[in-house]
Structure 1
């Protein structure tokens, strides 16, 4: 196996843990800091804001440097500020370090996606990118449950100290295993930013932000869904999370193979369509306790099969600005995170049960499929016919 891809996967593992572990230990952080949970949730919002801000800006201003140097810089930033977050003595430093720790997220996956595609033979690019995202799926499968356990039973600071060290391990892996590549000589700031002066770039933003919001409308409320609707005991929620992570792991692999086989755009249309159907099934079967387990796995698998196709759509459509486009995709993904959770909360606030956010997810995923089809017709097929 290519060691450079393993280095990228390690980065995915570290980033996945720093983003998603926060959701499991938020009550512990709130208790330790003597603040309420809504106030502590600002740590989630600040990280997402860091991703949105950092993805385009860091990529644009590092485009003249070699990919290895950029990845090393990003993981150094990750290591330092997650470490500061773990030992921060006051709220201001805690909030500031959390925001800065989010800056490398989108840029790492943007640069990493382009590097992964360059490391393999033509026709295997999406599978290489899925290898990088395997790190994030392993984070959801094992890292996040373990980090949540340590944070709950010992200290959340230990959890984030370990996450910081994972960033250092990734830094060393990139230093020793990543081959030296020439910087993109055409990758100047003006050309990178110019990508978002095109209408089809904004269509891709809509595809990702709205379509992937379907996943977050469901997973943001997974704990109350399985406890209040499916009637599982609260101590079964970690099992559900592991099953979701396991599904994401396999879905990521399937998405990569599907993208290389039938084209990224067609794979995206198929994945979003399957996601909307799956969420319909979740809505109607959530009250059946025994189905909570298989549906957690299936929904996780189908939902995460979309990752590699979307990254390849971005890269293929942004000649000369591939890294910037891929990083912008990560920012769009985090917009989908916020949008899905926000819209999913509306039926709950109106007094409906916790399976109703899944219907919001159905609409968002179906819209993503329609937008992906529009992209295929107006952009992909149009270029083929030229």
Structure 2
């Protein structure tokens, strides 16, 4: 917690709601910039890789998927680095700096002429991603008050999921009709609007005056932190193996036209929004049970999608449930990381997004491998299923370790679950 801050005891309910909406608007912008490339993948490939696209469209689509992987890797690098280095910064000022960086780098993504330059710009644009969500989650948790941490996290993440209902489909349609570069300029305008909203509506909160780079990095010395990171990094690959190649899945496997892609993205977004809100509420009850529940739904959804994507109902039900299950996991994993990290709160809150974007990069990369090898666009769904199975096994492992440590007297109760207090640092 910050040394001093405005929270639920000093702010009116209306002020808290407006502050949370401003933070969620940032999530809306991030969801738009991260996911719009997936719906516009063929457009990006055709414009930035015209020669390859003319002779081998599948290979061009797979190479264009590197733009998604580059963004994901930028999140992985930026989240812990910025969060650890800036843990002492006043939180509102840090959020504003991150939003300014989002705005400028997204404009660069829209204007640079060549594939390699756009690839670099997408990496740079991703650097503030995890730190923004991490710091915004801490601010939201403080505003919500005790016992509502996961719901505060879910409210910030709701901007990202709502982006998948409204922003991504609309911006995808805009990109298909006017060019993908216009889409990124619209996203940059969203970030600029968020800068104004955060500056106006979010109350001041101090950073942690006792935080140091070393104290924040101490989180990496805890085994349960690594378990939580691996669960997000591998288990979340199931969503991104599907989402990255959703446009060609819709067109090549289900046989629908390009105009159906935004509608399918709406279905995914609705699933993500419902799953996120449900996951936030359930995680305040039990993180462990919530993770088991949504991993179970994820496995069933991916299996059903792989077997029935040729039909419109199978496609729509499958992508809805995949989106819901993945987003239901997100606030639970975020809360788990905050639980097991102890005093390294800033970096823990940001690390969740590093982990999820390792899943993004992993799902996009492995999906691209099987597509480029000629196995078709259902193959990434099977890849996603395998990644989610590993995520579930890691979840079983982390909570079994909790029980083992509890029996040996090496853990203390924390919230609704039990966490490791062994510190290997």
TM (norm. structure 1) is 0.91
Q: Choose from 121, 128, 141 the match for 1:97.
A: 121
Distance 1:172 1:128, change over 3 A: same
Alignment correspondent of 1:329: 352
CA distance in 2, matches of 1:327, 1:41: 24
Tell me by how many angstroms 1:99 deviates.
2.3
- CA deviations on 1:148-192 (whole Å, 9 max, x unpaired) are 222222233322222112111111111111111121123211011
In the alignment, structure 1 residue 15 sits paired with structure 2 residue 40: no
CA distance in 2, matches of 1:316, 1:339: 26
Alignment correspondent of 2:332: 309
Tell me by how many angstroms 1:350 deviates.
5.5
Alignment correspondent of 1:258: 282
Matches within 5 A, 1:177-216: 177-216=201-240
- CA deviations on 1:317-360 (whole Å, 9 max, x unpaired) are 11211120121111111111121233334554565453343333
CA distance in 2, matches of 1:356, 1:155: 29
In the alignment, structure 1 residue 25 sits paired with structure 2 residue 40: yes
The answer to whether the 8 Å contact 2:38/2:244 transfers is no
Give the paired residue count. 385
Distance 1:85 1:133, change over 3 A: same
Distance 1:320 1:139, change over 3 A: same
State the SS of the aligned residue for 1:306: helix
Segment drifting more, 190-199 vs 35-44: 35-44
Alignment correspondent of 1:286: 309
State the SS of the aligned residue for 1:317: helix
Tell me by how many angstroms 1:30 deviates.
4.6
CA distance in 1, matches of 2:234, 2:121: 29
Distance 1:258 1:62, change over 3 A: same
The answer to whether the 8 Å contact 1:266/1:376 transfers is no
Tell me by how many angstroms 1:204 deviates.
1.4
CA distance in 1, matches of 2:176, 2:328: 31
CA distance in 1, matches of 2:90, 2:371: 48
Gaps of 5+ in 2: 1-13, 53-59
CA distance in 2, matches of 1:215, 1:134: 17
State the SS of the aligned residue for 1:305: helix
Alignment correspondent of 2:20: 5
The answer to whether the 8 Å contact 1:59/1:327 transfers is yes
Alignment correspondent of 2:4: none
CA distance in 2, matches of 1:113, 1:364: 27
CA distance in 2, matches of 1:84, 1:25: 18
Alignment correspondent of 1:376: 399
The answer to whether the 8 Å contact 2:27/2:160 transfers is yes
Distance 1:241 1:95, change over 3 A: closer
Segment drifting more, 306-315 vs 365-374: 365-374
Distance 1:169 1:289, change over 3 A: closer
In the alignment, structure 1 residue 296 sits paired with structure 2 residue 325: no
Distance 1:91 1:351, change over 3 A: closer
Alignment correspondent of 2:292: 269
In the alignment, structure 1 residue 120 sits paired with structure 2 residue 120: no
RMSD of equivalent CA atoms = 2.4
Tell me by how many angstroms 1:237 deviates.
2.6
CA distance in 1, matches of 2:192, 2:242: 33
CA distance in 1, matches of 2:113, 2:395: 46
The answer to whether the 8 Å contact 1:265/1:373 transfers is no
CA distance in 2, matches of 1:365, 1:96: 29
CA distance in 2, matches of 1:282, 1:31: 27
CA distance in 1, matches of 2:181, 2:199: 27
- CA deviations on 1:98-126 (whole Å, 9 max, x unpaired) are 32211100111111111111111222111
Alignment correspondent of 2:160: 136
CA distance in 2, matches of 1:3, 1:162: 23
Distance 1:333 1:176, change over 3 A: same
TM (norm. structure 2) is 0.83
Alignment correspondent of 1:161: 185
